[in-house]
Structure 1
Amino acid sequence: MASAKDQDVGKELTPVLPVLPRADAGHQAEARHFHPMVRPGVGRSGRRIQLLSNHFTVKLHDEDAVFYHYSVAIKYEDERVVEGKGIGRKVIDKLYQAYSSELGGKELAYDGEKSLFTVGPLPQKILDFKVILEESPARSSASGNGSPEEGNGKRAKRLLPAKTFYVEIRYAAKIPLNSIAQAIKGLESENTQEALRVLDIILRQQQARRGFLLVRQSFFNGSDSRNYCDLGGGVSGCRGLDSSFRITSGGLMLNMDVSTTMLLTPGPVRNFLLANQNVREPHQVDWGKAKRMLRNLRIKARHTGMEFKIIGLSELPCNQQLFSMKCKNGSGDGQTVEVTVYDYFAQLGIQLSWSAHAPCLDVGRPKKPIYLPMELCDLLPLQRYTKALTTQQRAALVEKSRQKPPERIRVVTDAVRSNKYDEDRMLRACGISIDKQLTRVDGRVLDAPKLQFGNEEFFPQKGRWNFNNKKLLEPKHFERWAIVNFSARCDLSHLSRELINCGARKGIQVGRPYTLIDEDPQCRRAGPIVRVEKMFELIKAKLPGPPEFLLCVLPERKNSDIYGPWKKKNLHELGIVTQCIAPLKINDQYLTNVLLKINAKLGGLNSLLTVEQMRSIPLVNMVPTMIVGMDVSHGSPGRSDVPSIAAVVGSRSWPQVSRYRASVRSQSPKVEMIDALFKLMPNGEDEGMMRELLIDFFQSSNGRKPEQIVIFRDGVSETQFNQVLNVELDQIIKAVNHLGVEKFPKFTVIVAQKNHHTKLFQDGAPDNVPPGTVVDLKIVHPRNYDFFMCAHAGMIGTTRPTHYHVLLDEIGFSADDLQQFVHALSYVYQRSTTAISVVAPICYAHLAALQMSQFVKFEDFSDTSSGQATAAGGHVIPELPPLHDNVRSSMFFC
């Protein structure tokens, strides 16, 4: 809710006359539908550099070729629809072998589901086929008698009966290949994306036939052990390749890059469970958790070689779980007896050890179980792990998947050669050939902006700088503070002395802390919320009044359970600035980084772009300009009950572009579009996110209202660009209109993407491209306004450039001015002494969303309350607790 002070300012901003719709106010933007803008030109500034990109030129030798799209329906004999992609591919491959003449000798490209493509038409628009697949020993239907295995050993060795499928192919549409040629020339075509999809399907089909795992545009060879790296917890990273066709200003390109997916580590089920739950012995396994983890996984029975899918676990351990079994007698009539799974296998001469006292795997049907002892079962390879990785797993993945530029170049070029695309019959049929060399592209290296510290100006070298012998630009001194320690092994006296000394060297006067508080040992086993409450009882008892700052030492370096409740207590209830640390070693560099965060949170400035002081940023310093960063943080994979957190940050204290304030809201899970930028209440008040940022800009900028607003949006794909322009921007326009302005602001909207597969390399050099590298030629869009930028110095692995898309530019930046501006905003990140990979407003929005998401980490989402919104699926969206007035305008997220 807005404070009384904010409401007064809102009235001050509102004009006497009623606000007119934007179109009536002399600005036509609201009256029309926005589309991403056309590139106005390319940049010229900077040092020229020759680069390579992981794009491979694709030649179209027959632009008149036409793809024919057919819908495919595959059914069993009993009319059931075939749903498995693997079965569908086998059926279509068999159909091609058996009915080539009926298909007119056409090559087929099948997507594994319901679409099939050919070059040129099939003989008829509707074709029906009968296909018979002879299957090898594998899983058949459950016998239904509760048997621990499907039949006896002799039966398992026989071939299963052949299966009959009925395939119907119906004509759907034509997709001319020349739509790609038209798009390369910058002409719009409704068939372009479909044509690219067909080409991608051709490549995926090739990999599927080689037995690779397909994950969207990526493929993985699970049979090569060199592709695996153990991440712990029964999870392995599998390295593969990502391939996709892209239309660029340099023509059609194949973008090939290294990709990684997470797989369950194949092997004995026992080993997987122990690793997954981080225990040493089977009796320590949490079987409820194991049941959830194992459900729907595929296993192979070691004693029969047959494959099954796990549907659950038996209710009783193996030596107690009974099932019905028919025993043969001399007359041939069978008598049904009850026998335990353990005894059954003992009769077969198979002695079970640890799994005798563990549940069995149920691989049957819900009402017809089939039980198998775990120690006889192995997890099959190539099973994806889709849950969120732990901090340790994520760190291991980053460490083990790093590749220096020369290695990555070798991997992708070897892949293009080894895949032998020139021999692919379908690609040859449509007249396509793929170059085997990386694309050469011209780049430019922009000069680093000059930074101002407390006592000097400085040009960063190689995207880096430090505060050795330097003072912070605007240090914030603090006297009333304390250190609290949640059972971490840390010498608090030594920490406080070193922090005070480091602050003195950086120009911050840090008084001696009021007190050093260690957690009561009796609280260590309590829940995180209780531990925080008990700590604040000690703080209130030992401090004479509210502190202006608290330094909190956590026992875990990452993802401490205490972090969320601690932040919520300080920022929501008490309005106290706090900094959490978990030091491994205390030295000047570590303490300097801590002080940078503390100073920014308390309202200080560590450094500034010199051009901010000189008012010489083109088009920004001369006209009141607000910089906005927007991002949405989503819950872990599979958690549909956890709300997404939307964060918007806005610059303040114009003409500076280094200070920001955040506004954060919860919204429906997994929804990327921000829905609370403008939120009109029944009383006519706007309680949206932009309102408080606009008011803050007005308050902190000497009563100036923004006449220009530059919006940086993170986390959206090309398919969502129109929503950014016509949903989110529309809300921002309404928020501005609602407050009222004499002169309506101009907007520039830029999307930043990191989730792509374009890489840049220096030709013949072992290192990454230099910081400030920008590319806006050859590998960019042929029509729309985009560019790639590596603002940071990539020290480890291969640098991933940020892909910026300029969707709208009413302000009218030149290409050089805009690229320089974006580059400069990578140097104003107050918690770092390096240029960062994406502009600071986006990083701040990401941090704010991430930190506020910790507020609801321990909430019970099943409860409802009158103050909460409801998602489309009926789920209640818990509202975020509002920030305390003392910290709401601070850079608490820094």
Structure 2
Amino acid sequence: MESQKPPNAEPAKRSSSIPNRLPMARRGLGRTGETIQLVTNHFKVSMHSNANTGAHFYQYNVSLAHEDGHPADAKDIGRKVMDKVHETYHTEMAGMSFAYDGEKSLFTIGSLPSKKLRFTVVLEDASSNRYKCTLNIDSPDDGSDRKRSRRPYHSKTFNVEISFAAKFPMDSIVRASYGQPSKHLQDAARVLDIILRQHAAKKGCLVVRQSFFDNLPRNFTPLGGGVLGCRGFNSSFRATQGGLFLNMDVSTTLVIQPDPVRDFLVSNQNVKDMYHIDWSKAKRMLKNLRVKTLHSNAEWKISGLSERTCRNQTFLMKQRNEGPDGDEVRSVEVTVYDYFVKHRKISLQYSGDFPCINVGRSKHPVYIPLELCTLVSLQRYTKPLSTQQRSSLVEKSRQKPQERMRALKSNKYDANPMLRSSGISISTQFTQVEGRILPTPSLKSGNGQDLSPRNGRWNFNNKELAQPTKIDPWLIASFSSRCNMKTLIQDLIKCAKMKGISMGYPAEIFTENPQYMRQPAPVRVDKMIGTMMSQFRRLPQFILCILPQKKNCDIYGPWKRQCLSGCGVPIQCIAPSTPVVNDQYLTNVLLKINAKLGGLNSLLTMGYCPSLHLISTIPTLILGMDVSHGSPGRPDVPSIAAVVSSRHWPSISQYRATVRTQSPKLEMIDSLFEPLPNSKDSGIIRGTLLDFYKTSAKRKPEHIIIFRDGVGESQFNQVLNIELEQIIEACKLLDEQWHPKFMVIIAQKNHHIRFFQNGSPSNVPPGTIVDNTICHPRNNDFYLCAHAGMIGTSRPTHYHVLLDELGFSADDLQQLVHSLCYVYQRSTTAVSLVAPVCYAHLAAAQVAQFIKFEDLPESSSGHAAAPVPQLPSFHEKVADTMFFC
């Protein structure tokens, strides 16, 4: 496949000029399928006929500074300052209401009296580490409440500058309602977003980007570990084919349970009492959280913990003694415990043996006994969740379609006073849209038998797999004593025979030595591998691993790494919850095993739609690309990029995966093309192209279809002009005269659009597609629910076609995407996302277990970024298999 070059020739270099491709426009709407009437959680935005359509939105830049001139950049201070500006200088601002984003931008309807305004405001009782605590001011030793009441309020002065930045007409909203284009529509939508968020913030809601969460008991659900799931709403204004809409949906975030600090720490660390607390971990957990003190009802931000216990931690207290020359003020050293017990007359039951809460600064600490502090409500929890917490969150966040609709109707978003005063109204009715139910793809099983999917499902009852494999020899490695091994083996072999898989009795069964069960997972795995290699001299074709508990137990990652990277043996891990498992469980296990060993479970009938026929006659490579990131609480964990590629053309059911680490939170894949001198590795794409050539009768792909997951609209141009350009350069590296045609499609699951059948408790049928009304006014996009939603409310996948050099019609393209949701080899159901992207998710998630990135030490923000750890390479015997299946 590679063109002939001199042995020492320089590799092709990337083009120095980055192209400027733009997302393609819609070519037309699809027509195939049965029509279905739906409603969606979009609410029409319009302006009253008597509104001043000639008015403008005015944008102003906001600058906040402390009295000493230093910028006031604390996250929670901006809204407080601007609320004070509105209260104090209402006349100077001509009585104008404004929408403030909490940071640098302010919007008004109509102009302010001047292009530049300057104000000075004073906030009293503002909670900040910049302020002094009662422990550091004059305090009588008798704890007199009368004298303590004379303390001045803590206050801070802020300088505010508001300067004109831009203006744009409000009539863009009116034009949008009539389907007319407007270059300022996105700007208008942003202003409306800010107006809604500001209204929520003034009501005391927690605002998280586009979502807001109220402090009502019914919104909270416990997840364990001192963490609550908090249900609220997500809102965004969207410009669509049908005009401007408010997309409103239910949203969930994580918050700290507002308990006494003691109770929270015991629950968070899952210990029986305070004496078992890991205080270094507690310090990291509590930092920057807000607490309210029981003795003063004041609110503070935690900066840390004291180094010594409450009984031993001292500070200098000013004390006034009466003498012949008048009052004498001197400083005496006193412990925090004695101060509160003897001077403040506050009884402390348990704080003496534990650190104090520090609400001051490092050089000027202010200590409060732990039992006097209670966590404030509606504080976000940003640390990684445990497996149990994550499962609980998913389970408790689900809502059936009708339940979700009722929740959305309860939100009074149309009562916003600023919107009403400007003549803007938001409908309270769900928007009606017309959808279509695409024809169900045709599938084949073994011996050419037809599989007949119904409601997105099918089964292999009395049918063999399309291409079953022969498994010999194979081994069992068991870390579990709960499983009935004899019955499991008999039932697995019997089920395999029914599916056409030739599978004899395992050559050996290895059971973990009980003396190692309490050892760390890597040690347990090493001992098992050592025993297997010493007693079974040759490599087996396959190993079945029985885990002691759920699949994501500690053994899973080290076991995968040893087998896939070290030994080169395909493996399947199972964790039966009962001693005897049923046929459906065994069938699902065999589907995965067969795919990993090179077999095929089912095949698409290529004559099903014209686009599939085109793919089967013209060599076509299909890529699925995704980047997964570390958990929100660990921004230093490397991101993992995965690219899966189709092989054995004309098949579109078999794939291989390439996985690389890259810098944390980097969304663009930076290793698609890396022309390094004297290196066989020129990036991910070179390997995928060579594999396609090798497995496809030495044919180069003339068409390359790319499915990219995990990017937002702001990154579409980067996918088109950076990632695609790397792929083109990789093609040139192999053959400068080779110019394949490309199709680039973005697949998005992280959105808040939902569809409902009005009056029906069920989810929309599998194959439901919508490409009108609420779709982009120009770009080529559509929503597809390929799967049958059995739990909660189905979330459609939002597909954006950025580039199509293949010239597919709307119907052909939509049916191709629908078909690729039926080639997922792990199950007998249609999946919600095209299979290549699902495989990329799986590959990234499984390989991430090779190195427990979450266990790496946290990097300090003040130090240079640590080098990205590299993943171990796959053994050559499994590198090209569907190990991720």
Q: TM-score range by the shorter chain?
A: over 0.9
Residue 407 of structure 1 aligns to a residue in which SS?
helix
Shift of 1:86: 4.1
Confirm whether residue 491 of structure 1 aligns to residue 484 of structure 2: yes
Equivalent in the alignment of 1:127: 117
Deviations 1:262-318 (A, max 9, x none): 001111111111110011111111111111111111111112211111111112222
- The equivalent of 2:284 in structure 1 is 292
Pairing partner for 1:361 from 353, 357, 360: 357
Moved more, 427-436 or 309-318: 427-436
Give the corresponding residue for 1:111: 101
1:157 deviates by: 8.1
Q: Does 1:826 align with 2:818?
A: no
Q: 1:550 touches 1:578 (CA, 8 Å); kept in 2?
A: yes
1:667 and 2:658 matched: no
Asked if the contact 1:144/1:368 (under 8 Å) is kept, the reply is no
Matches of 2:289 and 2:91, distance apart in 1: 40
In structure 1, the partner of 2:267 is: 275
In structure 1, C-alpha distance between the alignment counterparts of 2:209 and 2:817, rounded to whole Å:
32
Could you tell me how far apart the structure 1 residues matched to 2:390 and 2:150 are? 43
So what's the TM-score if we normalise by structure 1? Answer: 0.92
Q: What corresponds to 1:170 in structure 2?
A: 163
* Amino acid aligned to 2:92: E
| Partner residue, 2:873 | 882
1:3 is matched with which residue? none
Q: Which amino acid aligns with 1:578?
A: I
The code of the aligned residue for 1:510 comes to M
Is 1:773 aligned to residue 768 of structure 2? Answer: yes
Q: Distance in 2 between matches of 1:10 and 1:643?
A: 33
The one-letter code matched in structure 1 to 2:746 is V
Q: What SS does the aligned partner of 2:77 have?
A: helix
Distance 2:472 2:139 in 1: 73
Count of paired positions: 867
Which secondary structure does the structure 1 equivalent of 2:837 belong to? helix
Change beyond 3 A, Cα 1:181–1:812: farther
- Please tell me whether residue 82 in structure 1 is matched to residue 68 in structure 2: no
Secondary structure of 1:57 counterpart = strand
Q: Deviations over 1:616-662 (max 9, x none)?
A: 72421121111110001112224343221111111111111111111
Alignment of 1:446-461 (within 5 A): 446-455=438-447, 456-461=449-454
> Alignment partner for residue 410 of structure 2, among 411, 414, 417?
414
2:35 alignment partner in structure 1: 48
- Quickly say closer, same or farther: Cα 1:833–1:741, change in 2 above 3 A: farther
Q: Matches of 1:312 and 1:31 in 2, distance apart?
A: 48
Secondary structure class of the residue paired with 2:614 = coil
Question: Residues 766-845 of structure 1: matches in 2 within 5 Å?
Answer: 766-845=761-840
Query: Unpaired runs of 5+ in structure 1?
Result: 1-8, 24-29, 865-871
Contact 2:551–2:573 (CA<8 Å) still a contact in 1?
Answer: no
Shift of residue 340 of structure 1? 2.7
* Conserved? CA contact 2:139–2:318, under 8 Å: no
For residue 81 of structure 2, the aligned residue among 71, 86, 91 is 91
Structure 1: how far apart are the matches of 2:561 and 2:30?
46
Whole-Å Cα distance in 1 between the matches of residues 571 and 254 of structure 2?
A: 36
Match of 1:351 in 2: 347
TM-aligned CA deviation for residue 429 of structure 1 = 4.8
Residue pair 1:612, 1:621 contacting (<8 A) in 2 also: no
CA deviations over 1:545-574 (Å, ceiling 9, x no partner): 111111111223143222222111111121
Residues 133-167 of structure 1, C-alpha deviations (whole Å, 9 max, x = no match): 45489988224966999996553686615544332
CA-to-aligned-CA distance 1:494-542 (integer Å, 9 cap, x gap): 3222211221222212111122111122222333222221111110122
> Aligned pair in 2 of structure 1 residues 227, 50: CA closer, same or farther (>3 Å)?
same
Matched, 1:572 2:549: no
Q: For 1:399, which of 384, 395, 401 is the aligned residue?
A: 395
Query: In terms of mean alpha carbon deviation, does 124-133 or 666-675 score higher?
Result: 124-133
Cα-to-partner distance string for 1:107-152 (whole Å, 9 max, x where unaligned): 2111122211111221211122233445489988224966999996
User: Residue 96 and residue 592 in structure 1: after superposition, are their counterparts in 2 closer, same or farther (change >3 A)?
Assistant: same
Partner of 1:27: none
What's the counterpart of residue 225 of structure 1? 217
1:603 corresponds to? 598
What residue identity is the alignment partner of 2:120? K
Amino acid at match of 1:396: S
2:190 to 187, 194, 197: 197
Paired letter, 2:211: S
Alignment of 1:241-640 (within 5 A): 241-331=233-323, 332-347=327-342, 348-415=344-411, 418-421=412-415, 424-425=417-418, 427-455=419-447, 456-487=449-480, 489-585=482-578, 586-611=581-606, 617-640=612-635
Distance between the aligned counterparts of 2:438 and 2:306, measured in 1?
65
| Equivalent residues of 1:482, 1:515 under 8 A apart | yes
The change in CA–CA distance for 1:616 and 1:129 in structure 2 (over 3 A counts) is closer
Distance 1:847 1:49, change over 3 A: same
Offset of 1:190 from its aligned partner?
5.5
In the alignment, the residues of structure 2 paired with residue 694 and residue 700 of structure 1 have an alpha-carbon distance, to the nearest angstrom, of 10
Deviation of residue 106 (structure 1)?
2.3
Query: C-alpha separation between the residues in 2 aligned to 1:742 and 1:606?
Result: 38
Q: How far apart in 2 are the matches of 1:63 and 1:822?
A: 43
- In the alignment, which residue of structure 2 is the partner of 1:653? 648
Structure 2 CA distance for partners of 1:286 and 1:32, relative to 1, 3 Å = closer
| Cα separation, 2, equivalents of 1:400 and 1:537 | 43
Partner Cα distance (1:751, 1:13) in 2? 36
**In the alignment, is the contact (CA less than 8 A) between 1:239 and 1:259 conserved in 2?**
yes
User: Which residue of the other structure, out of 203, 212, 224, is the alignment partner of 1:210?
Assistant: 203
Matched, 1:713 2:708: yes
Amino acid in the other structure paired with 1:884: H
CA 1:87–1:742: 2 relative to 1, 3 Å: closer
Deviations 1:563-594 (A, max 9, x none): 22211111112110011111103221111111
Say whether the 8 Å CA contact 2:563–2:569 is kept in structure 1.
yes
Give, in angstroms, the shift of residue 851 of structure 1: 1.2
Letter in 2 for 1:387: K
Quickly say closer, same or farther: Cα 1:130–1:362, change in 2 above 3 A: closer
Unaligned runs of 5+ in 2: none
Using a 3 Å threshold, how does the CA distance of structure 1 residues 327 and 53 change in structure 2: closer, same or farther?
same
State the identity %.
55
The structural deviation recorded for 1:845 is 0.7
